[in-house]
Amino acid sequence: MATLWFCLVAFMLAMYVVLDGFDIGVGAIAPLVAKSEEERELLVRAIGPVWDGNEVWLLAAGGTLYFAFPALYAASFSGFYLPLMMVLWMLIGRGTSIELRHHVDHGVWRRFWDGIFFVASLLLAVFYGAALGNVVRGVPLDANGRFFLPMWSDLTLGPPSGVLDWYTVVVGVAALAALGLHGALWLVLKLEGPVEERARRLAGRLFWAVVATTALVTVASFSVQSQILRNLEARPLGYFFPLLAVLGLVGILLGLRQRQALRAFLASCLYLGGMLTSVAFGVFPYVLPARPDAQLGLTAPGVAAPEHGLWIGLAWWIPGMLLAAGYFTYAYRNFAGKVRAEGYEG
Amino acid sequence: MEDALVVHRLQFAFTVTYHYLFPQLTMGLALLLFLMKTRALQTGDPRYHQAARFWAKIFGINFAMGVVTGIPMEFQFGTNWADFSQSVGAVIGHTLAMEGVFSFFLESAFLGLFLWGEKRLSPRAHWATALAVFVGSWASGYLIVATNAWMQHPVGQYIDAAGKIGLGSFWGLLLNPWALWQYAHTMSASVVTASFVMAAVGAFYLLAGRQTDHGRLFVRWGVIAGLIASLLQIFPTGDQQGRMVAVHQPPTLAAMEGLFQTVEGAPLALIGQPDVEKRQLDNPILVPRALSFLTYQHWKARVQGLDAFPPDFWPDNIPLLYFAYHIMVGLGTLFLALMAVAAWKLRRGKLYSSRPLLWLLMLALPFPYVANTAGWMTAEVGRQPWLVYGLIRTHEGASKLVSAGSGWFSLLGFLGIYTVLSMLFLFLVYEQIAAGPEGSAHGAAPAAA
């Protein structure tokens, strides 16, 4: 039961990264693809009706993590206190920038919010990557299953460790490249004209950055977290997950070459999904590995809620998710096709 | 550790109090907007469409504020209250996760269409989006109230041999009798806020002599909805909520009422300052035996004072609890009086020309917010010294490894950011009110959701 919920929470988090990932990516590359106020307006329109629903996956995944693995929620949220507070402020800034920029028709007002949108999105991409890096590297858990990390120490893996070290920063940069590419591919899909062209060219360049950072992160992760190699040796079927990521990369390249925007974007989803499931597979049964004492790591069965409640959860989770799938199909159908300069609401 | 505990409590209290300034309008307004859209659909009267469009804009700004200040709440369960989360996440995690899955997905899919989709959708489809937003926001309210109700009156859980708390009965958690009354009380309070805001904006237009058509409409709707909601607020919801406290949290009831000594035929204190050291109420104005009657419907009933309980079961801030409760009840009574007079004048056709009453309606705007806040403070301060009543004490729930310094850092951050948000909110709502319903009808269509 714990393993099942581990998969379900991983699925929800992957959905969050794939969906909110593209609108965060759009924000992170905004200054590179949009050069005028009208073009920046287009960017916001390209994510306008769906970004909020995408972000809900974070809350839904967080809530699910909370009831299925309360001890993990407690340990990770309190241990990553400082970066999470900053993530919250970023989310506040980003949400207000998207929602409030339209309310006043004034160049300076809009420019200000476009700036907040860019900075908050960029930092969120890096922070999310660094968070993932922290989970792979492991954290200094004590015997109570708790830890507290400062933002940084000396940028080595520690001890003493910090949230930011060379490894997590590398993962953060890789995440920025990956989400930037994801966002660019979304813009290619949703827009036309000069912004689409710029996004396409940027995607072409970011693609190689993603290939390079993926290779770098892969090598680094094997050296940082020995569990990954052990898992792959024990269950060679696990190579399936990194294979998904590689297939995704190939798909992106083909999609870009053949000007198949939708295919390229879906391949990017596959890449992100493949990377995340590789991580989940690589550290399992740990959900939060420990370092330096690997024995103290938190495992899925060790932090899971009692069995009975997990069954109850399944009873509402399945219908709830079917409903959510319905809303999302409806919302994205409503938003199908290219966003045009005169606005979709006309 | 004591220091850190104070900061954790302050930060949660501040962020949740600030957050709830927005949903209390969102939820009440969602109902009024849905009713307005229904009237518009029935009558085809363009004024209702225009009015709904105007309030939808204010709703949109308010909703966005509620969303961005709401996310920190879910995070803080883990960041600041890790030990609490570890103990009870298996129970209240259900209601919190369900809020995301059942309400937020629904709202996020239909809010954009409701706010900006009127031109693209048929009138009936647009009405349906208003319904979806209303259902989503009220469902969200229920799941949060059910979470709080479990902390006030934990039911549906079991504790195994190792002391681990698990969820035993899903329906026990969801249909907690405390939750049902607390929800009714909270939602009618939310409608009080929305109707007072609507009446105040209408009164402003009438006093300013502009947009008077809509001014009348807003005042009429605000006063009628405000009268009904103010009435429901006191009876039956407030009355029943009080009885829940009397049965399940008797020390809290004694502290709320400032009753230090157990007596038969307990008086009701209208005014007075609790002096916890001397264990008495200073310069009180008392209604003899009224507390006994209100609590047990019997003039001579025995009501337990604080002396009936060991001091470590007393709420840890009795004066704050006492004043919050009295402010809530006092304002609630005044709301009913104001709306009753306004409704009477409305019936006689004299409300729109009664400037003193319009002034009162306009100036009443902030007070439902005060009353809602005081009400939640009564609930939350009254729950002390427990985090989960009878199960977990507040000091046991905080994150032990998060220092006071980290707490102050984030609290100051929130204070700064929320100050800026307040200014933005007031500025944007002012712009909408200045433009008015007639101005906004032909204004530039916003670009995106």
How large is the ipTM?
0.92
Query: Would you call A148 and B94 a contact, using CB atoms and an 8 Å cutoff?
Result: no
The 10 Å Cβ neighbour count of residue B10 is 13
Three-state DSSP at B398 gives coil
User: Mind telling me how many Å the CA of A43 is from chain B's nearest CA?
Assistant: 10
Identify the band that residue B438 occupies on the pLDDT scale cut at 50, 70 and 90.
confident
Cα–Cα nearest to B373, from B25, B8, B4: B25
Helix, strand, coil share (%) of chain B residues, nearest 5: 75, 5, 20
User: Mind telling me how many Å the CA of A92 is from chain B's nearest CA?
Assistant: 5
Is the model's pLDDT at B447 over the cut of 50? Answer: no
Q: Which residues of A touch B77 (CB under 8 A)?
A: 66, 73, 77
Given a contact cutoff of 8 angstroms between Cβ atoms, the answer to whether B86 and B166 are in contact is no
Three-state DSSP at A139 gives strand
Per-residue model confidence (pLDDT) at position B3: 87
Token digits for A341?
A: 């300069």
In chain B, the number of structural domains is 1
| Residue of chain A minimizing CA distance to B424 | A100
Per-residue model confidence (pLDDT) at position A343: 47
Q: Which residues of A touch B100 (CB under 8 A)?
A: 56, 59-64
Query: Would you call A74 and B89 a contact, using CB atoms and an 8 Å cutoff?
Result: yes
User: Mind telling me how many Å the CA of A1 is from chain B's nearest CA?
Assistant: 14
Q: Which residues of A touch B119 (CB under 8 A)?
A: 345-346
Write the single-letter amino acid at A119: V
| Residue of chain A minimizing CA distance to B411 | A85
Given a contact cutoff of 8 angstroms between Cβ atoms, the answer to whether A42 and A323 are in contact is no
| Closest partner CB to B100 (pick from A45, A60, A88) | A60
Query: Would you call B166 and A76 a contact, using CB atoms and an 8 Å cutoff?
Result: no
Query: Would you call A78 and B82 a contact, using CB atoms and an 8 Å cutoff?
Result: yes
Q: Which of A96-100, B164-168, B183-187 has the highest mean pLDDT?
A: B183-187
pLDDT in tens, A94-151: 999 999 998 888 999 999 999 999 999 999 999 999 999 999 999 999 999 999 999 9
CA separation for the pair A86, A130 (Å, rounded): 13
User: Mind telling me how many Å the CA of B101 is from chain A's nearest CA?
Assistant: 6
CA separation for the pair B95, B20 (Å, rounded): 18
The 10 Å Cβ neighbour count of residue B63 is 25
User: Mind telling me how many Å the CA of B371 is from chain A's nearest CA?
Assistant: 27
Given a contact cutoff of 8 angstroms between Cβ atoms, the answer to whether A111 and A31 are in contact is no
User: Mind telling me how many Å the CA of B445 is from chain A's nearest CA?
Assistant: 9
Query: Would you call B89 and A49 a contact, using CB atoms and an 8 Å cutoff?
Result: no
Given a contact cutoff of 8 angstroms between Cβ atoms, the answer to whether B105 and A323 are in contact is yes
Q: Which residues of B touch A114 (CB under 8 A)?
A: none
Residue at token pair 């900006």: B116
Per-residue model confidence (pLDDT) at position A284: 86
Q: Which of A224-238, B330-344, B429-443 has the highest mean pLDDT?
A: B330-344
Q: How many inter-chain contacts (A to B, CB under 8 Å) are there? A: 241
Is the model's pLDDT at B361 over the cut of 70? Answer: yes
| Closest partner CB to A96 (pick from B68, B108, B400) | B68
Per CATH, the architecture of A2-283+298-332 is what? Up-down Bundle (1.20)
Q: Which residues of A touch B69 (CB under 8 A)?
A: 92
CA separation for the pair B429, B409 (Å, rounded): 30
Token digits for A160?
A: 């003493």
Q: Looking at the domain assignment, is residue B136 inside a domain?
A: yes
Query: Would you call A103 and B61 a contact, using CB atoms and an 8 Å cutoff?
Result: yes
Cα–Cα nearest to B305, from B292, B317, B316, B294: B292
Given a contact cutoff of 8 angstroms between Cβ atoms, the answer to whether A209 and A65 are in contact is no
Per-residue model confidence (pLDDT) at position A342: 57
CA separation for the pair A144, B83 (Å, rounded): 11
Mutate to test the interface with A, among B18, B59, B67 (most CBs of A within 10 A): B67
Per-residue model confidence (pLDDT) at position A153: 86
Write the single-letter amino acid at A257: R
The 10 Å Cβ neighbour count of residue B438 is 15
Query: Would you call B120 and A313 a contact, using CB atoms and an 8 Å cutoff?
Result: no
Cα–Cα nearest to B238, from B224, B256, B259: B256
Q: Which residues of B touch A73 (CB under 8 A)?
A: 77-78, 85-86, 89, 93
Which helix (H) or strand (E) covers residue B108, if one does?
helix B105-116
Query: Would you call B421 and A92 a contact, using CB atoms and an 8 Å cutoff?
Result: yes
Q: Which residues of A touch B94 (CB under 8 A)?
A: 67, 309, 312-313, 316
Q: Which residues of A touch B106 (CB under 8 A)?
A: 323, 327
Q: Which residues of B touch A306 (CB under 8 A)?
A: 90, 160, 164, 166-167
The CA–CA distances, whole Å, from B133 to A98, A108, A187, B56, B179 equal 20, 33, 29, 11, 22
Q: Looking at the domain assignment, is residue B449 inside a domain?
A: no
Q: Looking at the domain assignment, is residue B78 inside a domain?
A: yes
The values of phi and psi at residue A53, to 5°, are -60, -35
Write the single-letter amino acid at B314: W
| Closest partner CB to A324 (pick from B101, B167, B402) | B101
Given a contact cutoff of 8 angstroms between Cβ atoms, the answer to whether B335 and B233 are in contact is yes
Query: Would you call A317 and B77 a contact, using CB atoms and an 8 Å cutoff?
Result: no
Given a contact cutoff of 8 angstroms between Cβ atoms, the answer to whether B305 and B281 are in contact is no
Which helix (H) or strand (E) covers residue B102, if one does?
none
Q: Looking at the domain assignment, is residue B290 inside a domain?
A: yes
End-to-end CA distance of chain B: 45
Write the single-letter amino acid at B307: D
Q: Looking at the domain assignment, is residue B446 inside a domain?
A: no
Given a contact cutoff of 8 angstroms between Cβ atoms, the answer to whether A89 and B68 are in contact is no
Residue B110 belongs to what domain range? 2-441
Query: Would you call A56 and B421 a contact, using CB atoms and an 8 Å cutoff?
Result: no
Query: Could you say which DSSP state residue B163 is in?
Result: S
Q: What angle do CA A139, B73, A287 make, to 5 degrees?
A: 25
| Closest partner CB to A345 (pick from B98, B102, B120) | B120
Average pLDDT over residues B171-188: 97
Per-residue model confidence (pLDDT) at position B448: 39
Identify the band that residue A231 occupies on the pLDDT scale cut at 50, 70 and 90.
very high
CA separation for the pair B428, A96 (Å, rounded): 12
Cα–Cα nearest to A203, from A187, A220, A181: A181
pLDDT in tens, B145-154: 999 999 999 9
Per-residue model confidence (pLDDT) at position B390: 95
| Closest partner CB to A78 (pick from B61, B78, B113) | B78
Identify the band that residue B445 occupies on the pLDDT scale cut at 50, 70 and 90.
very low
Mutate to test the interface with A, among B83, B104, B133 (most CBs of A within 10 A): B104
| Closest partner CB to B89 (pick from A58, A67, A91) | A67
CA separation for the pair A47, B441 (Å, rounded): 25
Cα–Cα nearest to A106, from A172, A37, A23: A37
More confident residue, B68 or A337: B68
Q: Which residues of B touch A44 (CB under 8 A)?
A: 447-448
Alpha helices in B21-104 (DSSP H): 23-43, 46-79, 82-98
Q: What angle do CA B323, B324, B329 make, to 5 degrees?
A: 95
Query: Would you call A49 and B449 a contact, using CB atoms and an 8 Å cutoff?
Result: yes
| Closest partner CB to A78 (pick from B71, B94, B401) | B401
Token digits for B132?
A: 């979806």
| Closest partner CB to B449 (pick from A48, A100, A346) | A48
Query: Would you call B101 and A63 a contact, using CB atoms and an 8 Å cutoff?
Result: yes
Per-residue model confidence (pLDDT) at position A56: 94
Cα–Cα nearest to A91, from A129, A125, A137: A125
Query: Would you call B111 and A315 a contact, using CB atoms and an 8 Å cutoff?
Result: no
B123-152 and B366-383 helices, crossing angle to 10°: 30
Query: Would you call A74 and B449 a contact, using CB atoms and an 8 Å cutoff?
Result: no
| Residue of chain B minimizing CA distance to A304 | B90
Per-residue model confidence (pLDDT) at position A285: 87
Token digits for B174?
A: 């969801």
Burial B113-143 (b: 16+ CB within 10 A, else e): bbbbbbeeeeeeebbbbbbbbbbbbbbbbbb
Per-residue model confidence (pLDDT) at position B439: 65
Is the model's pLDDT at B442 over the cut of 50? Answer: no
Per-residue model confidence (pLDDT) at position B342: 97
The 10 Å Cβ neighbour count of residue A167 is 23
**What is the percentage of chain A residues whose pLDDT exceeds 90?**
87
Three-state DSSP at B387 gives strand
Given a contact cutoff of 8 angstroms between Cβ atoms, the answer to whether B221 and B198 are in contact is yes
The values of phi and psi at residue B253, to 5°, are -60, -45
pLDDT in tens, B282-336: 999 999 999 999 999 999 999 999 999 999 999 999 999 999 999 999 999 999 9
The CA–CA distances, whole Å, from B237 to B162, B186, B232, B253 equal 39, 9, 6, 16
| Residue of chain A minimizing CA distance to B121 | A345
* Secondary structure of B184-219 as H, E, C letters: HHHHHHHHHHHHHHHHHHHHHHHHHCCCHHHHHHHH
pLDDT in tens, A316-345: 999 999 999 999 998 888 888 888 765 444
CA separation for the pair B198, B216 (Å, rounded): 11
Q: Which residues of A touch B97 (CB under 8 A)?
A: 60, 62-64, 66-67, 313, 317
Q: Looking at the domain assignment, is residue B447 inside a domain?
A: no
